[in-house]
DNA sequence: GGTATTTACGAAACCGGTTGCCTGTATTAT
DNA sequence: ATAATACAGGCAACCGGTTTCGTAAATACC
């Protein structure tokens, strides 16, 4: 068996007959203080021994870990791949590694994950669709970690940067589009009601109704979780309880897919009998059959953006914009009927 | 502004009038060598100051980081959520944090990610659908990191554990099912041809053909990438080049979805005109409309299993089985026509 | 009451790096 | 030729923990 060693800077130093300081200078290719030949000699030893500097040791010495933490509700949810990819791409490009954790929409678990990342001394944290309350986050700032928020926003004392879609507008647009189609009983089917986005979309839904002088029926407001499963369940519920509805807005494409799938199976035609609008415009929405009408935000870009900001604060630069909100766009496909529409309202 | 400090063990020690050693003992609740009252006093200080031990420092002291690395081709691909969730769940339950990286099916990037994880001194690495060659991985063992493989397998000198679906069997089963339906021109549409799974499935496809005394046509063998996009493209290619085909097997559900979506759009009926079988039985397959027939493996469980093994070797226990291969099951839904079938062949 | 054992804790070395400061020699300026 | 400066490189302190070992005090034992 070959030497399965992982060497230390001291060994390299000894082998080359120089001090640790010199090796360190070579590694960080610090141009000062080491001659070309010494440098070469050290580099050769490093190569020959396959020496890899210990990033952890370095981290504690310079008190910077070059790691950032990403906390999402559920990495298994098909909504998050775009986000994770956005974060890892940007982080990677700047030489940061990414630690991931699931919160399961549970404030305690979320807190646990956040603290565990502090323990690992990540330089920054990106919290996605967080469910922690404001006080906790505010208190959390004591740990001096750059904090970026996706999908939720507080004042600047809570986070260094945040980016959200305008969920109120999103909720408004989809409801308004359906209302404009003459629908009067529009079901609103949400995922986890604790997520702020849920409440905001509902607010938009309400606004669209009142703007049109229409009542909001409590029995049409459902919530459960962001999954295909739940979409199925919600469809069944609506049908089984014989609740009348002529259109649906949902809190995610997954819910929408589950509902469409189940409604179709139970003989409800879409969009002829029921129009439906999803949320988020995941990759799936356009591929699904019938293709989902949905509300679109550039999640990948949003993730990249927030990662950029977090890294900026880590590196002592200014955040470009502490709070960004992006206007969601209604994307109309096959689960709605066409009608004049200008994406403005 | 409150004190935004992160304290060190030395500070706690000083405040409590004890030595660092004592504080350390308290933190690791080492039952020996510290009296109840001293312990209490230290714990109080820790609580009051919100002290969080530096896991990095601990890692270098005990040469164990409690981090494991997960390298996948593309966290953005909808196939990986199940895997990532499986890994994070198990790791989390054992107190390990997870570092993720993308390889993009690129051996150089993969090597880079692997080495970057070594630098961070992860205790173990889980490599998913790796594209590195055997020699590289063998050489990589020098870094003394526990290594688990998903979706690829070598002898035990290369990895500590591996788990794969039997892709040959998977490829065989789906092709055989289609052949049994009387099809003679079955297109085989793969993702990245560098991934070993691709080649194995093709092998199964071949075996099924020769077993039935049928020829394999080169023009029916396509490959590109694992995405909905590519599925669309492949469908277009087949149609535009006027290549005759009466059935399709694909290397992933995403490709399948893209193809179905495009074929439908171009007026091809499924399954009446063309039968199609996906691969992997992602959450999407059953929700898609028409529901995808596909080849199923328990990815979440596989991910958990391999994580368990990796952690076992980290903790000095025996790996249960160094190499596991799971038998894939054909799941028949709406993109194929029903016919007698026993999932055995 | 004297010895043996246990217990509580501190001192200091160590893990693997970084960095400020110092020294000795080589180079340049005058 | 001499002083001034530059450069290469070593020493040692430091980052924040863990752990071995030693010792003094407390407790157990007879």
B311 — contact with chain A (CB < 8 Å)? no
User: What's the mean pLDDT when you consider all of chain A?
Assistant: 95
A97-120 tens-digit pLDDT? 999 999 999 999 999 999 999 999
Any idea where the domains of chain B sit in the sequence?
9-53, 65-165+299-327, 167-297
Residue (of A214, A219, A52) closest to B119 by Cα position: A52
A77 contacts B81? CB cut-off 8 A: yes
Predicted confidence band of residue A345 (pLDDT cuts 50, 70, 90): low
Q: List all nucleotides in chain D with at least one atom under 7 A from a protein Cβ.
A: 7-20
Reported in sequence order, the residue ranges of chain A that DSSP labels E, i.e. its strands, are 67-72, 97-102, 124-128, 146-150, 161-165, 186-190, 221-223, 247-250, 275-277, 294-296, 323-326, 329-331
Q: How far is CA B99 from the centre of its chain?
A: 14
Assign A238 a pLDDT band (cuts: 50, 70, 90). very high
Q: Which residues of chain A lie closer than 8 angstroms to B65, CB-CB?
A: 56
Q: How far is B209 from chain A (nearest CA, A)?
A: 31
A170-207 pLDDT tens trace:
999 999 999 999 999 999 999 999 999 999 999 999 99
Q: Which residue of B has its CA nearest to A6?
A: B143
Superfamily covering domain B167-297: Response regulator (3.40.50.2300)
Which residue on chain B is closest to A283 by alpha carbon?
A: B228
Test B67 with A98 for CB contact under 8 angstroms: no
pLDDT at B2: 44
Strand C positions within 7 A of protein Cβ atoms: 7-21
Which B residues, 92 through 121, put their C-beta within 8 Å of a C-beta on chain A?
A: 92, 97-102, 115-121
Contact B52 A115 (CB under 8 A): yes
3-state secondary structure B297-345: CCHHHHHHHHHHHHHHHHCCCCCCCCEEEECCEEECCCCCCCCCCCCCC
Query: In the Cβ-directed half-sphere of A22, how many Cα atoms lie within 13 Å?
Result: 20
Q: What is the pLDDT of residues A51-83, one digit of tens each?
A: 999 999 999 999 999 999 999 999 999 999 999
Residues 6+ apart with CB under 8 A from A315: none
CA atoms of B289 and A284, how far apart (whole Å): 12
Fold match between B65-165+299-327 and B167-297?
A: yes
Q: Which of residues 245-274 of B touch A (CB under 8 A)?
A: 257-258, 260-261, 264
Q: What is the DSSP string of B193-232?
A: TTSHHHHHHHHHHHHHHHHTT----GGGEEE--SSHHHHH
Pairing state between β A146-150 and A124-128: parallel
Q: Cβ of A298 under 8 Å from any chain B Cβ?
A: no
Question: Which pLDDT tens digits describe chain B residue by residue (345 residues)?
Answer: 445 678 999 999 999 999 999 999 999 988 888 899 999 999 999 999 999 999 999 999 999 999 999 999 999 999 999 999 999 999 999 999 999 999 999 999 999 999 999 999 999 999 999 999 999 999 999 999 999 999 999 999 999 999 999 999 999 999 999 999 999 999 999 999 989 999 999 999 999 999 999 999 999 999 999 999 999 999 999 999 999 999 999 999 999 999 999 999 999 999 999 999 999 999 889 888 899 999 999 999 999 999 999 999 999 999 999 999 999 999 999 999 999 887 666
Enter the tokens of residue B206. 């071949």
Residue–nucleotide distance: B56 CA to C8 C1' (Å): 28
In the numeric block, the tokens 């500590």 are attached to B160
pLDDT in the model for residue B79:
93
Q: What is the pLDDT of residues A123-146, one digit of tens each?
A: 999 999 999 999 999 999 999 999
Q: B81 — contact with chain A (CB < 8 Å)?
A: yes
Nucleotide nearest to B121 (CA to C1'): C16
Place of tokens 């007959």: A17
A184 touches strand C (CB under 7 A): no
Report the residue from B117, B143, B286 with minimal CB separation from A6. B143
* pTM of the predicted protein model: 0.94
Best residue of A51, A142, A302 to probe chain B, by most B CBs closer than 10 Å: A142
Closest residue to C10 (CA, C1′): B19
In total, the C-beta contacts within 8 angstroms joining chain A to chain B are: 165
Superfamily of domain A66-165+299-327: Response regulator (3.40.50.2300)
Confidence class for position A1, pLDDT limits 50, 70, 90: very low
- Cβ of B78 within 8 Å of Cβ of A74? The answer is no
Residues B144, A258: C-beta atoms closer than 8 Å:
no
CA of B56 to C1' of D9 (A): 30
B76 touches strand C (CB under 7 A): no
Using alpha carbons, select from A197, A193, A196, A241 the residue that is nearest to residue A220.
A241
CA distance to A17, A31, A32, B118, B177, per residue, from A28 (Å): 19, 9, 11, 17, 59
- Any atom of strand C under 7 A from CB of A38? no
Q: Is the pLDDT of residue A2 over 70?
A: no
Q: Which CATH architecture has domain B65-165+299-327?
A: 3-Layer(aba) Sandwich (3.40)
Distance B129 CA to C4 C1' (A): 63
Phi, psi dihedral angles at A17 (to 5 degrees): 65, 35
Q: Which tens digits make up the pLDDT trace of A7-40?
A: 999 999 999 999 999 999 999 988 888 889 999 9
Query: Is residue B288 a contact partner of residue B260, using CB atoms and an 8 Å limit?
Result: yes
pLDDT of res. B283: 85
Query: Which of B60, B102, B289 is nearest residue A56 as measured by Cβ atoms?
Result: B60
Whether the pLDDT of residue A4 is over 70: the answer is no
**Residue A210, SS3?**
helix
What CATH code would you report for A9-53? 1.10.260.40
């Amino acid at each position: 068996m070959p030497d399965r060693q992982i060497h230390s800077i001291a060994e390299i130093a000894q082998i080359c007959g120089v001090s640790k300081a010199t090796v360190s200078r070579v590694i960080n290719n610090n141009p000062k203080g080491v001659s070309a030949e010494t440098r070469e000699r050290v580099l050769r030893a490093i190569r020959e021994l396959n020496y890899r500097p210990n990033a952890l040791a370095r981290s504690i010495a310079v008190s910077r870990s070059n790691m950032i933490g990403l906390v999402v509700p559920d990495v298994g949810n098909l909504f998050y791949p775009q986000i994770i990819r956005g974060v890892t791409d940007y982080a990677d490009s700047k030489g940061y590694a990414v630690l991931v954790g699931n919160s399961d929409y549970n404030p305690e678990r979320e807190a646990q994950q956040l603290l565990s990342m502090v323990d690992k001394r990540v330089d920054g944290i990106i919290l996605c669709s967080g469910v922690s309350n404001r006080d906790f986050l505010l208190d959390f700032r004591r740990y001096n970690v750059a904090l970026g928020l996706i999908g939720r926003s507080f004042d600047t004392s809570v986070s260094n940067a945040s980016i959200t879609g305008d969920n109120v507008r999103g909720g408004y647009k989809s409801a308004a589009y359906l209302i404009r189609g003459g629908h009067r009983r529009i079901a609103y089917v949400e995922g986890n009601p604790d997520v702020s986005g849920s409440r905001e979309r509902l607010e938009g839904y309400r606004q669209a109704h009142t703007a049109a002088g229409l009542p909001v029926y409590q029995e049409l407001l459902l919530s459960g979780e962001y999954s295909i499963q739940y979409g199925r369940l919600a469809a069944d519920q609506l049908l089984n309880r014989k609740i009348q509805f002529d259109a649906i807005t949902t809190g995610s494409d997954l819910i929408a897919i589950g509902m469409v799938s189940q409604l179709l199976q139970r003989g409800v035609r879409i969009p002829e009998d029921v129009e439906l609008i999803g949320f988020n415009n995941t990759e799936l929405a356009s591929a699904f059959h019938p293709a989902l009408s949905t509300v679109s935000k550039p999640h990948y870009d949003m993730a990249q953006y927030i990662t950029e900001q977090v890294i900026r604060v880590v590196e002592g630069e200014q955040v470009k914009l502490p709070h960004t909100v992006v206007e969601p766009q209604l994307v109309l496909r096959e689960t709605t009927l066409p009608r004049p529409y200008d994406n403005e309202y």
